[in-house]
Amino acid sequence: MSPPTEVFRLLLQGERPTGVGFTDSSPRHESSTPVTRTFSPKPADVQHDWIVIDATDVVLGRLATHAAALLRGKHKATFAQHMDMGDYVIIVNADKVALTGSKLAKKVYYRHSGYPGGLTATSYPEMLEKHPTRAVEKAIRGMLPKNTLGREQLKKLKVYAGAEHPHAAQQPKAYIFDQVAQ
């Protein structure tokens, strides 16, 4: 009897063939298989803290990445992409943020009115003079998701040009940067 015929005979008799090329695919007992369950936080489990960041001499991009991660809640063990897990972030001294290299002279912000020829360019020093908080807000907005959840997370960002903020009643915790610009 040839080997393939032997395999067919065993299968017809209800037995499993064994040997090279055949694995034991018998069902395991339920107790032997590990059961992993993904934790999905409930809205009641989410706690939104208040964090204050002093932007004095902090590089703009580094400040924006840290603030965006705090707004999204990526620093929490219970992070879920589809939920608003983040904290409220207060940024003070936004007018004293640092830029690296020659960005102070060359950085330009663009916006368009929607009409032909409606492109408007604003330099960083001009933006700092007119709207000192807007440069920080735009940098952080660019690092958040571009959807409804990202817009909700952006509402928890509070940026102030000076050292004072009206959120002292929330008792915000200070966020310390390890590295600041020289």
Residue 120 predicted with pLDDT over 70: yes
Task: Examine residue 123 and state whether it is found in any structural domain, yes or no.
Answer: yes
pLDDT, tens digit, for every residue of 18-31?
666 666 555 555 56
Q: Return the pLDDT at 109.
A: 96
pTM listed for this prediction: 0.77
What confidence score (pLDDT) does residue 22 get? 62
Structural contact between residues 102 and 125, judged by C-beta atoms closer than 8 angstroms: no
Quick one: pLDDT at residue 4?
A: 72
- Over the stretch 143-161, which tens digit does the pLDDT of each residue have? 999 999 999 999 999 999 9
pLDDT at 36: 80
Is residue 136 included in any domain, yes or no? Answer: yes
User: How confident is the model over 62-88, as a mean pLDDT?
Assistant: 96
Q: What is the pLDDT of residue 180?
A: 72
Whether 153 maps to a domain, the answer reads yes
Instruction: Look at 32-41, 74-83, 100-109 and tell me which has the smallest mean pLDDT.
Output: 32-41
Which residues neighbour 178 within 8 Å (Cβ) at sequence distance 6 or greater?
none
Please give the average per-residue pLDDT across 46-69, as a whole number. 96
Please count the structural domains in the chain.
1
Assigned domain for 32 exists: no
**94 within a domain of the structure (yes/no):** yes
Q: Is residue 39 part of a domain?
A: no
In a domain, 141, yes or no: yes
Cα(13)–Cα(5) distance, integer angstroms: 12
Q: Which helix (H) or strand (E) holds 120?
A: strand 119-123
Mean pLDDT of the chain: 89
pLDDT at residue 177 in the model: 84
Please tell me which residue, 32 or 123, carries the higher pLDDT value.
123
Taken in order 77, 81, 85, 91, is the CA torsion positive or negative?
positive
Per-residue pLDDT at 5: 77
Q: What range defines the domain where residue 141 resides?
A: 47-175
Q: Is residue 79 part of a domain?
A: yes
Tell me the pLDDT tens digit for each residue of 1-55. Answer: 556 777 777 777 777 666 666 665 555 555 666 778 888 899 898 999 999 999 9
Tell me which amino acid residue 47 is.
Q
Q: Which residues touch 173 (CB under 8 Å, ≥6 apart)?
A: 49, 50, 51, 52
List the CATH number of the domain containing 108: 3.90.1180.10
